[in-house]
Structure 1
Amino acid sequence: MQAQPALRQSSEISTDRHDPRDDWHPEAQKLRARLEELYGEQDPLPTAAGAWCTRQKSAHTRRAYARNFLRWEAYARGAGIHPLQAKLPLADAYANHLSQLPGRGGGFLSPSAQAQALAAAGSFYDYAIRLEAVALNPFSHVQRPLVDPDHSPTQGMTPEEVERLITIAREWAPRSYALVTVLYLLGTRIDETLTLNVTDLGYDRGHRTLPLRRKGGKRQLVPVPPLALDALERYLDGRAEGPLFVTETGERWTQTGVWKHLRVLARRAGIPAAANIKPHTLRHQFITDNLAESVPLERVQDAVGHTDPRTTQRYNRRRRALDDHPAYGLAARLAARLQSEEVSRDA
């Protein structure tokens, strides 16, 4: 029989203990800290929620899950119920509450946003069941809102509006121009863009490249076309380290800051929908403008990292539903008849 290694004497065992929670992602640590403020360090909720959050594959998902969980937690706490004691009636009431919340740009929270909030809460309870922190998932039988897979809520622009926005960005500042050209010409998501560092700008087989971390944590290397590369190099002006896009104080540019800046540029460009412009608008334009130029769907799908071609196609359906709507033809024929009658009367 092989001899077992001798146990160390107690005097040899380090008394320094490492807290595994220190290895969590920042989003999970922030969620845990917020919940500890509310429930204390001894309550199991902060650790359960933080452990669940840190398991998500991308920073974007972790932020979204943490944000949606805190929304649910606040609702449960407002009802005087600890989230780990929530039952189906409270989850049903929360689903109805979500349907009455205001959304961006007016109206109510979109069905997809409601579905995401419910999915996040349900995901937490699935994990809590594994931890034996709860016995049942209160969201298992909550009715989800109907989400149209062919609907894209993002408002698009005309090619002329895109050109005006890019022109204004170029006149405004090198950083503005670099941001707009990267978002439009590469079709990137804003979180993929803002997590990039200067050192990520690479070279592969004659292409200048950027590595994107897509949804789900997968990575994709994309080429940087000459126009975007020139804009980036002018903006960087020899800077060789740090975040790719920074503020005037040298901090990484935030999504909130980019949203506000794009709307300033859109207003200056005279775009009618300036109040609703967002970073995703330029990704939307990348997809619809390429499809309008007959670029094969599968190539556009691969370029933007969609796993399902239906996700890519829905952007095109919205454009075609407006551009090719039969109301235009009907109105043109009616206008022609009315003009003809008016000419006849004048004659």
Structure 2
Amino acid sequence: MSAEAVENEQKSGIVTTVPTGGLVTGNHGPLPNLIAASGSAAAFAWEEFIFGKIRNANTRAAYEHAIRKFLNHCESLGRQLTSISPADIGLYLDALPYAPATKKLHLSALRHVFDSLVSRHVLMLNPAASVRGERLTVVEGKTPEISIQQARQLLESICDSNIIGLRDHAIVCVMIYTAARVGAVAKLQRRDFYDLGGQHCLRFQEKGGKSREIPVRHDLQQIIHNYLSKAGLEFADKLTPLFRTTVRRTRQLTPNGMTPGDMARMVKRKLRVAGLPSQLSPHSFRVTTITDLLSQGVPLEDVQNLAGHADPRTTRLYDRRNRKVTRNIVERISV
């Protein structure tokens, strides 16, 4: 869940504070009070689900936040873990001031954790199993598209006369010319940019444990080489980060790699300097690249492979060609 969603929860007036009571389990923080009060089997089920079954750190954080929030709510109502009913869950979801997708995430988290509690004989039945989520049909993603002209404007506005400009220019170009997610770009190490004999490639570690090798076009290859040469990283240790942070405004690189948040903030700064809309984000480049290739008649399967999608329906969510047709139609309304 995004930081913005968490902030909105804190403003909504619903209980969000993580309880300070309960058993402390190692460095994992305190158990929710309702879990701690239900005995060792409940504590085991909690740790098994949160730290054992969920391997993705972002998913773990989002699910744990959603579950703690609900359990805090039940505690405020005087409920015990064994007395939570489908009505409690349904009414709770109805009161959440979130979009349907976020509510479905909360419901999914509750279903899974209660499944673990049932399997460890803490509960007889899963109270979330019969609760239906809101209907949600997504035909187009919400990420705003950056146009080809805007992308060129952004690239031209990045000053590459210093190492920071070269780094930022390389990062934006990697996102545009590979359609990689910002999280995968942030994970790049020096070894992930390599020569196969006449063809350079980038190897990305994507979400879900996927590893993907994407060929580097000639101009991007030169851009990355210029950055590595200026930064003195051409012969750096293979396990060092490819894109590094700086020491404040000294324009000197540190040994530390940039995080996805660092890159997102960098893109926002460059968008502001270029005079482009603030709602654009690093993910906008992914939308534009996919739409552009589909507009040129590149087969959907090939674009899907580039984007790393397991399902072609996911790739279609990034396709903004239908939106452009719709705009042309509404402009013809005579009123």
| TM-score (normalizing by structure 2) | 0.75
Structure whose CA Rg is larger: 1
Q: How far does the alpha carbon of each residue in 1:92-128 deviate from its partner, in whole angstroms, 9 at most, with x for none?
A: 1231233x1xxxxxxxx33223222321232222233
1:124 matched to 2:110? The reply is no
1:327 aligned partner: 329
Displacement after TM superposition at 1:295 (Å): 1.3
Kept in 2, the 8 Å contact 1:122–1:139? The answer is: yes
1:255 aligned partner: 260
Distance 2:70 2:196 in 1: 45
Q: How many residues align?
A: 293
One-letter identity of the residue aligned with 2:307: V
Distance 2:154 2:25 in 1: 36
Aligned pair partner of 1:48 in 45, 69, 77 = 45
Kept in 2, the 8 Å contact 1:165–1:266? The answer is: yes
Kept in 2, the 8 Å contact 1:169–1:180? The answer is: no
1:283 matched to 2:286? The reply is yes
Displacement after TM superposition at 1:142 (Å): 1.9
Displacement after TM superposition at 1:324 (Å): 4.2
One-letter identity of the residue aligned with 1:114: K
1:93 aligned partner: 91
1:34 aligned partner: 29
1:137 aligned partner: 126
Where do 5+ consecutive residues of structure 2 fail to align?
1-23, 247-253
Displacement after TM superposition at 1:74 (Å): 4.1
Q: Secondary structure at the match of 2:142?
A: coil
CA gap of 1:222–1:327, structure 2 versus 1, over 3 A, is: same
Q: How far does the alpha carbon of each residue in 1:243-286 deviate from its partner, in whole angstroms, 9 at most, with x for none?
A: 233322543322333222222211111113x1x22222111112
1:305 matched to 2:304? The reply is no
| TM-score (normalizing by structure 1) | 0.72
Q: How far does the alpha carbon of each residue in 1:161-217 deviate from its partner, in whole angstroms, 9 at most, with x for none?
A: 111222233547222112211111111122222223222223446432233333432
Distance 1:188 1:97 in 2: 36
One-letter identity of the residue aligned with 2:257: R
Q: How does 1:95-110 map to 2 (within 5 A)?
A: 95-98=93-96, 100=97, 109-110=98-99
Displacement after TM superposition at 1:34 (Å): 2.7
Q: How far does the alpha carbon of each residue in 1:265-323 deviate from its partner, in whole angstroms, 9 at most, with x for none?
A: 11111113x1x22222111112112112221111011111111111111222x442234
CA gap of 1:263–1:78, structure 2 versus 1, over 3 A, is: farther
2:11 aligned partner: none
Aligned pair partner of 1:166 in 155, 167, 181 = 155
Distance 2:193 2:82 in 1: 45
Distance 1:149 1:304 in 2: 18
Structure 1 or 2: more helix by fraction: 1
Distance 1:86 1:121 in 2: 11
1:195 matched to 2:197? The reply is no
Distance 1:143 1:149 in 2: 18
Displacement after TM superposition at 1:37 (Å): 8.3
CA gap of 1:67–1:259, structure 2 versus 1, over 3 A, is: farther
Q: How does 1:126-275 map to 2 (within 5 A)?
A: 126-171=115-160, 173-204=165-196, 206-236=198-228, 237-239=231-233, 240-241=236-237, 242-248=240-246, 249-272=254-277, 274=278
Distance 1:30 1:311 in 2: 39
| Superposed CA RMSD | 3.2
Where do 5+ consecutive residues of structure 1 fail to align?
1-28, 101-108, 336-347
What's the % identity of the aligned pairs? 24
Q: Secondary structure at the match of 1:330?
A: coil
Q: How does 1:55-66 map to 2 (within 5 A)?
A: 55-66=53-64
Distance 1:142 1:182 in 2: 43
Displacement after TM superposition at 1:45 (Å): 5.2
Q: Secondary structure at the match of 2:113?
A: helix
Q: Secondary structure at the match of 2:214?
A: strand
One-letter identity of the residue aligned with 1:269: A
CA gap of 1:45–1:293, structure 2 versus 1, over 3 A, is: farther
